[in-house]
Structure 1
Amino acid sequence: MASILLPLLLLLSATSTSCLLITPNSSLLSPNRTFALGFFSPNHNNNNASHTHWYLSIYYASLPIRTLVWVANRDSPLLSSSPTASISKSGRLAAGDPPVWLSGNTLPASSAILLDSGNLLLLSPSGDVVWESFRSPSDTWLPGMAVDRRRPIVSWRSPFDPSPGPFSLRLLPGEFELAFEGKVAYWSSGKWTGDRFAGVPEMTVPYIYEFRFEDPFGPGASFSYSVAPELAEEAGIESPALSRIVVESSGQLMQYTWSPQAASWRAYWSRPESGCGVYGRCGRLGICAPEADRTCHCPRGFQPTDPSAWSSGDFSGGCSTGDEDDQCSDDRFEEIGTMDLDIAADGTVLGASRGSCEEICRRNCSCFGLIYDSGTRLCRNLYGDAYNLRNGMDLQILLLRVPAIGVAEKPKHKWKKKAIVIGAISGFLAILSLASILAFISRRRIQTRRELKKSEEDAAAFSNVMVFSYKELCAATQGFSDKLGHGSFGAVFRGELADSTPVAVKRPERAGGDREFLAEVRTIGSVHHVNLVRLRGFCCEGQHRLLVYDLMPLGSLSAHLGSGAEPPLPWSVRLRIAIGTARAVAYLHEGCRDCIIHCDIKPENILLDKDFTPKVSDFGMAKLIGREISRVVTTMRGTWGYVAPEWISGTAITPKADVYSYGMTLLEILAGKRNAETAAAEKDTWVCFPAWAAQKIIEGDVAAVVDSSMEETGGYDPEEATRVGRVAVWCIQEEEAARPAMGTVVKMLEGTVAAAPPPPPRLLQALMASGESFPRAGIVSGGDESDSAGSGRIVEAKSEG
């Protein structure tokens, strides 16, 4: 190492120093002034300097935003009003006097040098490197830094606290993984394939990544990457001048590139793509809600264990009741709602009623709550620690144990409790004396109460979803007289609520009981995005099952594509629809507490409001998978022509199945053609349409694919059309690993991530060469009228080998 760096060190000897002294008013600069070594304080206040925490750090010297890449004394801030750093008499870099931190070199150093890579070197009198900051990383991975299996990259505790946090990136044989407190792994990069990591397809841009992997599967493995601007210049692409990969205090691994035009850092990719995919993000019993103003919040009856840390963005301490009393027999249970959670200790499964389950839990102070399944009427007591609370999609209700209200005043009110008990006994005896006379009335009353309780539970599941009576919806639709559409999903009717709000009322006709219907309601009701259709409410009364949506006045996208669409959609509207739809699907995949695979993305299921804002609809075929599950085996569903190849072959699917369907839809938006329509008009032409369009786009002839009718609306932007075409072809790749994630699709469509020329989709090329037909969209879907309400035409079919 020293022999390699010696010529460089001699060349840069003018920037090294043997009398190093760093203060808050001085720093050590790299030769090109890219980086600086100096003091940083996250809470610096000139009026109260005596309470300032100082850290010796390396940061970008030439940027208007102070961005740290390395911190020396992470565990031990300097509290002095005039901190210093220098090379001590023992030849080690020291922060503070007396030092609170010392570099780990065993041989003495006489000088220091900071390279333009951001690497701080300590040199011996003979010029040998005896220590370097790249070998002691903090939270940032810079180009040229070799990460090995012995030195993980560890997050900050919070955005304002650089002390080591609970999240770390570590190198395993052939792959990376993110871990919580060094124990629980919650994300993996996938295995090294020789030119990339299988789980991060974004790490293939040649002008950002030149990889070096030393012995990838051996014990001495190390991995590094570097930026190659010259490759970008050859391709005519503006290369980012600066790049860094950070383990954020949120637990996400983020790649940033610097944009000189915007004078800001831009997130290039992140894993996990949702903050709620991070294990332990909100600590013990904290609830993660990515769409809320604050990602983490505490359940009712709980508060942050460390309010100060919580307010600064450090949620790792989680939530507690704040009560340390060991007398727990009088505790009550707070119903939190339908929740999923990860249990760090075994729970006890009990075939008992909710009341029995609560009583057993009260007897053991280590039982912190229970899960009650309102469908099976069974409950499960919970012990140990619970992390990653998030809204669930099933019928399991979480109840957490909290101190009983007024327990401390219990002795003063014993007479009240006795009076209540006596009254209850008297009432019970009175009821028994009349039981023989009122048996029939009592049975009817119990049945009514059960139905009422069930309705109340359904209404309480979502505060923003209303429970309608059948009579209300019958009046709103004037007896279901104005039908908007009908397909295999059932019928949709126009309606108007009592407050004059126009709605679309969907009457599903698919087979399924109450549990399936309510599960669908919970799926739709738990997602909120500007580009997802809004569920206003539902009816589950007797045999009536109805869903109430906002009415979309412009109907579905399918009605605006093809030869019969008048007038043609302008390019700006098409691009808005494409990006809005991508954002909606990305939210389902990456922004929800659990990943939702829509399973039927197509123009019929993209509704348009009066401003042509797209709203993705119909979650009847959606599949919910946990963040810990990468694939799911499910019956093939969707619409022929949009179904991903792996699904047809019977392989377990991932969210990339939606990416394929979106890519086919994006081609239709670009070309203005419906696949089935083209097949009917030109014999066997549709068989080749996606492959033909992909080939034209790859060749750079996007104009041959773009809808020519847009000339009537002012034409289109060639650069944007090329970008859209390339994204579509990337999405319809046969190998799902080659398809980008929907979050990346959004960035490519917006232009923040370059859309490189894609390879030809091999399966479509094979179909074109063989002359075999590709199943047509619309034929299997079975619908005969446009759905302008809240759902598209649905098909569900079993794969036949």
Structure 2
Amino acid sequence: MVLLDQFKLPIWSTNITNNASNTTIGVILDTGNFVLTDTSNSSDFLWESFDEPTNVWLTRSKLGRNKVTGLTTRVVSWKNSTDPSPGFYTLEIDPDGSSQFIHLWNNSDIYWAAGNWTGTMFAGVPEMASYPKSLLNYEYVNNDDKSYFVYLTNEEKGTAMFVMEVSGQVKAVAWMEAVQDWVPFLAMPKAQCSVYFVCGSFAMCSENTYTFCSCLRGFSKQYQGDWLYGNPRGGCTRNARLQCGGSGSNSSKAEMDGFYAQAVSKLPDKTWSVAATSLDECKASCLNDCSCTAYHYGDKCSLWYGDLINLVASTDGSDAQNIYIRLAASEFSSSKKPSKALIIGATTGGAIIVTAIIIIGALSIFRKRSFSQVSKVEGSLVVFKYRYLQSLTKNFSERLGKGSFGSVYKGMAADGTLIAVKKLDSVFQGEKQFRAEVSTIGTIQHVNLIRLLGFCTEGSKKILVYEYMLNGSLDRWLFGSTSVPLNWKTRHQIALGTAKGLAYLHEKCRSCIIHCDIKPENVLLDASFVPKIADFGLAKLVGRDLSRVLTTMRGTIGYLAPEWISGTAITAKADVFSYGMMLFEIISGKRNSAWHQEGAETFFPVLVATRLPEGNIGALFDSEIIQDANLQELERACKVACWCVQDEENTRPTMGEIVQILEGLLDISMPPVPSYLQVLAEHSKFSSDEASH
């Protein structure tokens, strides 16, 4: 089998010939293995894709080494998320003969080893002890002819695979039917910053930041387009040239290079040791050597030459150690008047920079076309081109859902990160107003609010790009036919987290943000079921006095506060009402209107409001909920829900008070039955009496 390019020239082949017959066929087996076989002997494979895996290790495929032929079966990352050609990271069995996997960068540097196979797990991956063994079963074979690993999946439990990502991590992922997606349950190495060259030169890796990589002080991103596409391996470049003005040079002291202390938890690789008995001696050794980039003094003096790579930031300061990085004198603030030489140097440097910008601008025409698809960054937001978002979403082919403001589509960024792309419907604001409101949304960050990554505005096309939530929206878990029932602890976590997010919008932002459309469809869940409120800020912003009227009524029937109907001013208490209605559904796991009692349809909030005073709220719930529920939390949540849906908005609690109540920090009294629920209760009782007669 041969693959040809547009000029009919071969670019890949299986490198086999079948002289026995002309009846070679290709078959994709149920395992995913694509095989070439002869029809006269279909069990004898002439070639199989399992012998040449790309970036995925599938069940039943062997990863190892043929000791007779020398052939090594390895998994290699893609070059980037859109280019499947071989990348820089490789997973393979240890060629030295030990029973472990190793990760290599550029087929040369080992940056991670799994540890020897113990029969149940790899010694260096203790987290394997907690992952689902009923799903995967490993087998290690080592004899005179070959050594390899193979794994099988329990098809009744699900299916799984291993993927070498462009980021250099191997992710074990399992298919979750409930969310119709692959869910990662193991990463090797566990920390992204353990990957070799993950941030390129003169950059810092931090596990505590969303983007992992950032340039060191005195350096800027070398290829801005690459970084925007999630590929920071191009690293960073100096903002100012080094003077290299050592003590023996003609340069004045003011022009000498300096050093700044950078706290790190991991020092760069490839260090040199020199004789020095103090920090000052170590500094002098580096300063007087023009090729020295940085130094560190601990139990010895360590120097670095050339590019600095693999720096890792300290997470809490407990493991911090200082490395002193060389910078030009101009990078350090000074109150002295700049010298004539410095002015001339700055002018010359400016001319060089301008020239470089012109050259780079010219060269950028010939760079990858995709670089033009991200135009710039506004604040913390990336401005995307519409055609680029079309590419990331495969022309908006996979719709995740549709809400009050538009449809949401699944996409994948250049680094393999999943994104949610929302196409807004009927946006009437002008360009300037739209950008201003989006910029405001971009500055709002809270653990229980979905994060806005960027946007697109081209004519009538208005699009928002958000982080992707692995477990989808709350309604799929509460009402979906394939969903697994959520236990009470998870439901309480979701209710409390959503309340915290709303409290932040109402009380902590510069201007009170009323959501106007709180419902389970707008509460998204991450991999740990932490709730994230979506669509906030898409309705109008109002003043902190909460007195301005929102001219366009939004929301969804069933969650709307009475004031939406009466036409009175809309305040944050409208969100409180909607939250209460949603809280009833979180508590019960059903739509409020989907309850039946004695054969008649019953509105669930009516049942709760009328049963609460009787003190027998547990009788309303299924045994699955009650068996693991904290009954005090359950009763408290029911009271909160009833207070939230009171007729008069001034009797409803604030979201800040709701957070305190759910946390058990604030007492709550027995709520009265709202008048409209009382009417529904009497109507339900009347209907039930009529049916009995």
After TM superposition, the score normalised by the length of structure 2 is 0.43
After TM superposition, the score normalised by the length of structure 1 is 0.37
More relative contact order, 1 or 2 (CA 8 Å, 6+ apart): 1
